[in-house]
Amino acid sequence: MNIQANLLSGASSFAAGETCSQAYCAPTVGQMPPVISSSASRANASDSLLLLDMDNTLVDTRAWFADFILSATNGIAEALKEDHRIINQLFAEVAGATTLHEYGYIIEAIASRLKKHRSVTHRKIERASERFWHEFSQEHKKIRTYDHVHSTLKEIRMQFPGLKIVVLTDSPEWVTLERLHLTGLLPLVDGIVAIRTEVPKLRNRGYQRGLRLRQEEMRRLQEKIDRRHLQLHMAIPASYAKPSSAGIELAAKRLAVGNQIIIVGDKDHKEGLAARSWHLSQNAQERPSASIRINYVRAHYGNYDLDHPRYLDLASHIPSLKAGIAEPVTGIEPVKSLDSFAHMTQTLEEIFSEQSEQQAA
């Protein structure tokens, strides 16, 4: 089957009234009318924290990732003289051992597992890595936000000026900064909590030069991005990734949150579980932060392509994509399931207003 041809031929099969981002389409949802927050809501927001997942919540990563990796893995297979199915499997294993979207040392890690230095010189592997990085940097510029993300974040900042907005993501720190910079979202958030990229420990010394080159490129990328406005910038271990509640706790402590936390994401088994874990751990340990309310809001619009036949077909060829297919988690109920990020301001108003009513009661 020619998957690329399938992707192209299916583009015209979507119903009218939909907007397309690369190979996938999402329903167009009208912008919500402006929300006028009450003084009580603004007061409750002033000591609160809004934690936003990045991928498939703010930016349409799944569609971009599918398009990019389809091309990239074929290129890696050709460069390393290996079957593309093996490369797909190894990409999934390497990515799964760190985070789903870790690209930093992918060529070196795959070549090491294949012991390609026995048949392909280290210099050729370095060149393959350089080509991959060039392709990644070019393709990464094509990533897009969902509809109304920019306007709604600006609206939230205006309506709830004391609310801290932090991106809590399982993507690597350098990818997170680059992604938020490319999409123009970085100035709209107060902080970032992302995964720290670790240099892989490859036994063969011939890989060390290539690893240093990649490390230097990551450093240069970050230096170009102005992040001086951030009140919080943390790179945490991969073991702290969601559904661990460690990222929530660290962000809340660093920003001295004392009122409410709202966590927004597309997956019950990640953001939903993290919220429940945080709540249970705070109460079990009788911490002062146990009085802080936490609400999980599902970014349901981020799952629009999970059940699409073309995506499922693609996932059957590329195992690393299967990690994106979320199953509902029993016992995890969001306070709201959003069909568009445009509804986020209204949702916050409802959450803070409900808190005001409970305080008054």
- The answer to whether 52 and 179 have CB atoms below 8 angstroms apart is no
pLDDT by residue, tens only, the chain of 361 residues: 333 333 222 332 222 233 333 322 333 344 555 666 677 778 888 899 999 999 999 999 877 877 787 778 888 899 899 988 888 878 777 766 555 456 788 899 899 989 999 999 999 999 999 999 889 999 999 999 999 999 999 999 999 999 999 999 999 999 999 999 999 999 999 999 999 988 888 889 999 999 999 999 999 989 999 999 999 999 999 889 999 999 999 999 999 998 899 999 999 989 999 999 998 888 777 666 668 899 999 999 998 877 767 667 767 766 556 655 556 677 788 999 999 999 999 999 999 988 766 666 5
pLDDT score of 31? 54
Q: How far apart are the first and last CA of the chain?
A: 63
By C-alpha distance, which of 219, 211, 197, 218 is closest to 126? 211
Find tokens 């799952």 and name the residue.
303
Domain definitions of the chain by residue range: 20-360
pLDDT score of 33? 59
- The answer to whether 53 and 168 have CB atoms below 8 angstroms apart is yes
Cis peptide bond prior to 243, omega within 30° of 0 = yes
Residue 59 DSSP symbol: B
pLDDT score of 236? 95
Mapped onto helix, strand or coil, the DSSP state of residue 282 is: helix
Distance (Å, whole) CA 357 – CA 239: 38
User: φ, ψ for residue 61 (rounded to 5)?
Assistant: -75, -35
By C-alpha distance, which of 344, 341, 300, 345 is closest to 149? 341
pLDDT score of 123? 93
pLDDT score of 260? 94
Distance (Å, whole) CA 102 – CA 91: 10
Provide the strand spans (E) within the chain.
18-21, 24-27, 48-52, 164-172, 191-195, 232-236, 260-265, 293-298, 336-337
What token pair was written down for 258? 């004392």
For helices 246-254 and 273-284, the axis angle rounded to 10 degrees is: 70
pLDDT score of 13? 27
Antiparallel, parallel or unpaired: β 18-21 and 24-27:
antiparallel
Distance (Å, whole) CA 11 – CA 13: 6
What token pair was written down for 115? 């012991």
Mapped onto helix, strand or coil, the DSSP state of residue 145 is: strand
By C-alpha distance, which of 145, 245, 247 is closest to 191? 247
DSSP 60-128: -HHHHHHHHHHHHHHHHHHHTT--HHHHHHHHHHHHHHS-TT--TTHHHHHHHHHTGGGTS-HHHHHHH
Mapped onto helix, strand or coil, the DSSP state of residue 97 is: helix
Distance (Å, whole) CA 320 – CA 91: 7
pLDDT score of 289? 61
Check: pTM over 0.75? Answer yes or no.
Answer: yes
Mapped onto helix, strand or coil, the DSSP state of residue 324 is: helix
Distance (Å, whole) CA 147 – CA 63: 14
What token pair was written down for 82? 């290996």
Has domain 20-360 been given CATH number 1.25.40.10? no
pLDDT score of 360? 60
